[in-house]
């Protein structure tokens, strides 16, 4: 009987579906284990061979844990809101829901075709109203809570209001907008409802805010920082500009410290943690206010200029102040004489694209004509604007210390400003800045003679005592923009109440009114007046009266809590029932790409911490263990078409010429002038081109002729991104068809360590296929259909093979070394074939060991051996018994001066002294010792002997 992969796999996939084999329920009699794949976006292109890498690994873990007695939650679903479906809708008029539905169908089909053990009854889709109802519900909670720094957690807005009534803003220590004013209880109580609501927005976790955002005209929406790469949109590569817009924002910065400290409690890859730390960018320093009052400045109602610095110790070296061109105070600070120059610079800076800014870093700027005062020495400091200062970081203002900072130094040189040395250890500051913290301060008033640490402490005390500054921690992390001017996303459950003052106030729609469903619209484009597409919806008003929010939520909203929905996917009362959350707790094993480091994995940790503060979920961190699977790159193949070929040339080279062009094999191509063309990797095997398939591949190659080497056409190879245009995309379905899902699963794991990036390479897939055939032949004679197994007692040697295999596989899976497990299985198959072992007592546990990797063939053989169909996932992982591996002897490699010269067998428990004596009497050893006396003999029991001369 032959191994017929197609038949076997289809039968079992059908069986699993019919019998709901992988459905799980809460079961308190067994420990739980939660294995999660990162939420895929169902793109129209379907899965290519790179996508399943992580899914195969997580499926192996799931199946392994089941065999180990765990109740395994292993779900799959779709992050189904998103730009591509909407772009397609704009082009075709087709509702994105329909496209999305079709794409999901393709994905599910492909995933089932690979034999993954998902509990499909738990599938969720973020674009389903029954799902986004709860995304909106969480949004409501965010709106109704604020971050209380004293309690160090999120608290209800009602608590904040109570505090305001008691003691005004001074009574609370909370995360809020930078421009939040100070007020007392009396003031709060006398405010009108509108004023109070406006104040509360400065504290809520989500709030509309006028801010500079990344506007992407090409996509017609704003983007968050993590969606912008190199100044263009990550999706589509469209230009991105800074634009002042009113947007919903999420106060993720309130959790900045906890997002950093939580990283120490999870088992995640260190590079990923480091990326998050850098993205959050915590810096410790001080804020200092430079007053404007007594200098030669225009009359102002401004108290001063606030700067953040990490080097407050350099404050006596300040010789200028620089504001971002967009800074609020620029207008007020500009003197009439400087007005034109400043305005010109602002215009120039605003029109400079992000790409330009990054490309050329020339010193530029303009003087405002005004001065501020250094609080430490009362010296006037000229105020400039320059685009090297970013409006979005700190206060958008920088104190210029040219002796200690290279950018400041460049600026000072360019504008002829003084460069003052502040530390006796600074060297060569007429050549460049020296950022040293060594030595003692000079030219520095109250800190002269002090060291770095002493000076910093002293200055912060002084600033605080004089009420002109304080120690401060600053983050690079910005509050996250939460609005998208698009249709295909969750509607924001907010309407705008009109207080009759022309300033609409956002209010939440009632919880009972959720979900707020997406209305139908005629076209998926902005309105005439530039409103988002939702502005097209007819009669779409809250209680027929108030306007709804017209932007929708960003892609990361639905994916920031989805792992809880899998615990209880159908629940219409809560996002997940407490009993389900109490049982499943959190994700034990999470796998996905490292590209989610600063997007999904940061936002979802933020929402999780928020839900934790509300007492809704049990863990501060939701994913205990996380692995990044390496990216599978494309491996392109090339053919070489001979250029400018004339008949004479063709004759000269004795090569046939034809209308389809002449293609020369890789090894001979340097003898010709050629054009390199991508060729579909699916018609190439082991880099040899299938000539007939090539002629059929494209009509214009039908008459192609070839110049072969050794009768074969060898293709060129390059590693590139996997993409259609490079003809290097391999669809897993093709491989499943030809070799089977089990072979594909084994092969993807066999390719190398899971976390390494590697090019997809079909060379060698036949090795894993042959391995499965070899396994099959342990059970069946491929000629006669006869089963081969028997019930004989296994020999010691056979048991040794089995138990060594059990031990290695268990150890390797536990350390996520998936590739070496495949080798171990291959070695076992080779050895048992060698031993002609067809004993059920050995083969049955072997099939269980194989089942996480190759579940279909394992099910088939398991059932053939007489077990109940489909029960292999309920089987028990074989228990390793060390007694079978006990050896009575050990073959010692014997080294002379570190080089192995001979191997000698000794009893496993032979005393080192005996071994030493025997080794020194050995002929070969004596020969190599060349008559010298050994200085030392090292005997490491059960390892090695080394004779040192």
Partner RNA sequence: GCGGGCAUGGCGAAACUGGUAGACGUGCUAGACUUAGGAUCUAGUGCCGCAAGGCGUGGGGGUUCGAUUCCCUCUGCCCGUACCA
State which of positions 306-325 bind RNA (CB under 7 A): 308-311, 324
Percent helix, strand, coil in the chain, to 5, is 40, 20, 40
Best CA proximity match to 719, nearest among 633, 615, 592: 633
DSSP annotation of 704: -
Contact set for RNA, span 332-391 (CB under 7 A)? 357-358, 361, 387-390
Size of the site for RNA (CB under 7 A): 88
The stretch near RNA (CB under 7 A) out of 70-78, 244-252, 592-600, 851-859 is: 592-600
**Kind and range of the H or E element at 295?**
none
Place of tokens 């009509």: 699
Question: Which of residues 891, 909, 914, 917 is near RNA by CB under 7 A?
Answer: 891
Please tell me whether residue 637 binds RNA under the rule CB under 7 A: no
Please tell me whether residue 926 binds RNA under the rule CB under 7 A: no
Is the Cβ–Cβ distance between 373 and 380 less than 8 Å? yes
Contact set for RNA, span 824-853 (CB under 7 A)? 826-827, 830, 833-834
Question: Which of residues 450, 574, 918, 938 is near RNA by CB under 7 A?
Answer: 938
Buried (b) or exposed (e) across 11-26, using 16+ Cβ within 10 A?
bbbeebeeeebbebeb
Question: Which of residues 167, 445, 764, 911 is near RNA by CB under 7 A?
Answer: 764
Tell me how far the alpha carbon of residue 616 is from its chain's centroid.
26
Question: Which of residues 35, 199, 399, 704 is near RNA by CB under 7 A?
Answer: 399
Decide: helix, strand or coil at residue 946: strand
Contact set for RNA, span 101-120 (CB under 7 A)? none
Please tell me whether residue 895 binds RNA under the rule CB under 7 A: yes
Please tell me whether residue 944 binds RNA under the rule CB under 7 A: yes
**Residue 663 beta carbon to RNA: minimum distance, rounded to whole angstroms:** 20
Beta-strand relationship, 589-592 and 626-628: parallel
Please tell me whether residue 923 binds RNA under the rule CB under 7 A: no
Cα separation of 32 and 584, whole Å?
Answer: 6
Decide: helix, strand or coil at residue 678: strand
Please tell me whether residue 665 binds RNA under the rule CB under 7 A: no
Contact set for RNA, span 689-748 (CB under 7 A)? 738
**Residue 943 beta carbon to RNA: minimum distance, rounded to whole angstroms:** 4
Please tell me whether residue 900 binds RNA under the rule CB under 7 A: yes
Cα separation of 380 and 442, whole Å?
Answer: 19
543 vs 815, beta carbon nearer RNA = 815
CA dihedral 117, 121, 127, 132 (to 10 degrees): -120
Please tell me whether residue 413 binds RNA under the rule CB under 7 A: no
**Residue 210 beta carbon to RNA: minimum distance, rounded to whole angstroms:** 19
CA dihedral 861, 862, 865, 870 (to 10 degrees): -120
Contact set for RNA, span 488-507 (CB under 7 A)? none
Strands (E), 163-220: 206-216
Is the Cβ–Cβ distance between 498 and 546 less than 8 Å? yes
534 vs 829, beta carbon nearer RNA = 829
Contact set for RNA, span 768-827 (CB under 7 A)? 768, 770-771, 773-774, 808, 811-812, 815, 817, 819-820, 822-823, 826-827
Is the Cβ–Cβ distance between 523 and 536 less than 8 Å? yes
Please tell me whether residue 132 binds RNA under the rule CB under 7 A: no
Radius of gyration of the CA atoms of the chain, in A: 35
Q: Residue 809 has which token pair?
A: 């596989």
Question: Which of residues 160, 252, 597, 806 is near RNA by CB under 7 A?
Answer: 597
Cα separation of 397 and 306, whole Å?
Answer: 7
104 vs 947, beta carbon nearer RNA = 947
22 vs 750, beta carbon nearer RNA = 750
CA angle 599, 603, 609 (to 5 degrees): 155
Cα separation of 700 and 677, whole Å?
Answer: 13
Question: Binding string, 469-488, against RNA, x = CB under 7 A?
Answer: -----x-x------------
Please tell me whether residue 164 binds RNA under the rule CB under 7 A: no
Cα separation of 711 and 29, whole Å?
Answer: 65
Beta-strand relationship, 505-508 and 494-497: antiparallel
Please tell me whether residue 934 binds RNA under the rule CB under 7 A: no
380 vs 767, beta carbon nearer RNA = 767
Question: Binding string, 255-294, against RNA, x = CB under 7 A?
Answer: ---------------xx--xx--xx-x-x-x---------
The stretch near RNA (CB under 7 A) out of 602-610, 789-797, 858-866, 893-901 is: 893-901
Those residues whose C-beta lies under 8 Å from the C-beta of residue 739, and which sit 6 or more positions away, are 5, 747, 765, 766, 768, 769
253 vs 598, beta carbon nearer RNA = 598
Is the Cβ–Cβ distance between 295 and 373 less than 8 Å? yes
Please tell me whether residue 632 binds RNA under the rule CB under 7 A: no
Please tell me whether residue 936 binds RNA under the rule CB under 7 A: yes
How many helices and strands, by DSSP H and E, does the chain display?
29, 35
**Residue 823 beta carbon to RNA: minimum distance, rounded to whole angstroms:** 3
Question: Which of residues 903, 909, 913, 932 is near RNA by CB under 7 A?
Answer: 903
388 vs 546, beta carbon nearer RNA = 388
Please tell me whether residue 767 binds RNA under the rule CB under 7 A: yes
């Amino acid at each position: 009987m032959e191994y017929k992969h197609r038949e076997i796999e289809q039968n079992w996939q059908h069986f699993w579906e019919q019998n709901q084999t992988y459905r799980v329920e809460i079961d308190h009699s067994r420990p739980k284990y939660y294995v999660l794949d990162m939420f895929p976006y169902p793109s129209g292109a379907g899965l290519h061979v790179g996508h399943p890498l992580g899914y195969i690994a997580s499926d192996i873990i799931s199946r392994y844990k089941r065999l180990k007695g765990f109740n395994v939650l292993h779900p799959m679903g779709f992050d189904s809101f998103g730009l591509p479906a909407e772009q397609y809708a704009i082009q075709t008029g087709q509702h994105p829901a329909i496209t999305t539905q079709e794409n999901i169908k393709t994905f599910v089909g492909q995933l089932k075709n690979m034999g993954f053990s998902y509990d499909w009854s738990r599938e969720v889709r973020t674009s389903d109203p029954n799902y986004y109802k709860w995304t909106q519900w969480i949004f409501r909670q965010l709106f109704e809570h604020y971050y209380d720094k004293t309690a160090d957690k999120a608290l209800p807005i009602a608590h904040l209001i109570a505090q305001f009534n008691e003691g005004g803003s001074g009574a609370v220590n909370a995360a809020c907008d930078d421009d939040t004013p100070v007020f007392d209880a009396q003031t709060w109580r006398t405010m009108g409802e509108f004023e109070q609501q406006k104040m509360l927005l400065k504290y809520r976790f989500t709030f509309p805010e006028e801010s500079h955002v990344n506007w992407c005209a090409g996509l017609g929406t704003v983007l968050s920082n993590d969606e912008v790469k190199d100044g263009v949109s990550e999706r589509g590569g469209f230009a991105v500009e800074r634009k002042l817009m009113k947007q919903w924002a999420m106060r993720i910065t309130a959790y900045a410290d906890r997002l950093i400290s939580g990283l120490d409690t999870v088992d995640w890859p260190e590079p990923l943690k480091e990326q998050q730390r850098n993205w959050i960018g915590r810096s410790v320093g001080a804020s200092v206010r430079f007053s404007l009052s007594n200098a030669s400045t225009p009359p102002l109602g401004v108290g001063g200029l606030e700067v953040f610095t990490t080097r407050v110790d350099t404050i006596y070296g300040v010789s200028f102040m620089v504001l971002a061109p967009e800074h609020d105070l620029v207008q007020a600070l500009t003197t009439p004489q400087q007005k034109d120059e400043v305005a010109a610079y602002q215009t120039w800076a605003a029109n400079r694209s992000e790409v330009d800014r990054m490309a050329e870093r020339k010193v530029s700027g303009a003087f405002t004509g005004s001065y501020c005062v250094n609080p430490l020495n009362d010296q006037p400091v000229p105020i400039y604007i320059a685009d090297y200062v970013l409006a979005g970081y700190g206060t958008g203002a920088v104190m210029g210390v040219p002796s200690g900072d290279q950018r400041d130094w460049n600026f000072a040189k360019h504008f002829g400003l003084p460069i003052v040395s502040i530390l006796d250890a600074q060297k060569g500051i007429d050549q460049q800045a020296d950022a040293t913290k060594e030595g003692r301060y000079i030219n520095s008033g109250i800190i002269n003679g002090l060291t770095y640490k002493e000076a910093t402490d002293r200055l912060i005390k002084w600033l605080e005592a004089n009420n002109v500054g304080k120690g401060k921690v600053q983050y690079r992390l910005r509050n996250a923009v939460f609005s998208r001017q698009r249709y295909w996303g969750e509607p924001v459950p907010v309407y705008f109440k009109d207080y009759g003052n022309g300033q609409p106030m956002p209010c939440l729609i009632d919880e009972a009114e959720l979900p707020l469903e997406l209305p139908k619209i005629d076209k998926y484009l902005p309105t005439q007046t530039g409103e988002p597409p939702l502005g097209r919806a007819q009669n779409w008003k809250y209680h027929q009266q108030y306007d709804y929010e017209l932007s929708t939520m960003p892609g990361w909203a639905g994916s920031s809590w989805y792992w809880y929905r899998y615990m209880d996917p159908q629940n219409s009362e809560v996002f997940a029932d407490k009993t389900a959350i109490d049982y499943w707790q959190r994700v034990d094993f999470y796998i996905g790409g490292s590209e989610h480091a600063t997007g999904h994995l940061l936002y979802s940790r933020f929402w999780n911490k928020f839900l934790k503060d509300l007492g809704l979920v049990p863990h501060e961190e939701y994913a205990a263990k996380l692995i990044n699977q390496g990216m599978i790159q494309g491996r392109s193949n090339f053919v070489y078409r001979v250029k400018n070929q004339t008949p004479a040339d063709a004759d000269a080279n004795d090569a046939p010429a034809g209308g389809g062009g002449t293609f020369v094999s890789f090894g001979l191509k340097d003898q010709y002038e050629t054009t390199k063309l991508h060729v579909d990797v699916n018609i190439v095997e082991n880099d040899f081109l299938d000539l007939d398939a090539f002629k059929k591949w494209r009509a214009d190659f039908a008459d192609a002729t070839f110049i072969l080497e050794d009768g074969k056409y060898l293709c060129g190879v390059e590693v590139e991104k996997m993409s259609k245009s490079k003809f290097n995309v391999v669809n897993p379905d093709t491989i499943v068809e030809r070799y089977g899902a089990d072979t594909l699963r084994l092969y993807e794991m066999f390719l190398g360590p899971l976390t390494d990036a590697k090019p997809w390479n079909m060379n060698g897939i036949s090795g894993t296929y042959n391995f499965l055939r070899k396994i099959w032949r342990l059970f069946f004679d491929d000629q006669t259909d006869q089963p081969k197994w028997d019930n004989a007692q296994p020999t010691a040697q056979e048991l040794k093979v089995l138990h060594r295999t059990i031990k290695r596989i268990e150890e390797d899976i536990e350390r996520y070394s998936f590739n070496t497990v495949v080798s171990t299985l291959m070695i076992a198959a080779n050895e048992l074939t060698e031993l002609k072992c067809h004993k059920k007592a050995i083969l049955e546990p072997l099939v269980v060991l194989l089942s996480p990797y190759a579940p279909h063939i394992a099910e088939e053989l398991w059932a053939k051996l007489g077990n109940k169909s489909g029960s292999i996932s309920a089987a028990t992982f074989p228990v390793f018994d060390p007694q079978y591996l006990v050896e009575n002897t050990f073959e010692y490699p014997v080294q002379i001066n570190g080089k192995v010269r001979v191997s000698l067998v000794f009893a496993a428990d032979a005393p080192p002294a005996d071994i030493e004596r025997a080794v020194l009497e050995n002929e070969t050893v004596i020969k190599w010792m060349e008559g010298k006396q050994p200085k030392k003999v090292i005997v490491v029991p059960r390892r090695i002997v080394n004779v040192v001369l």
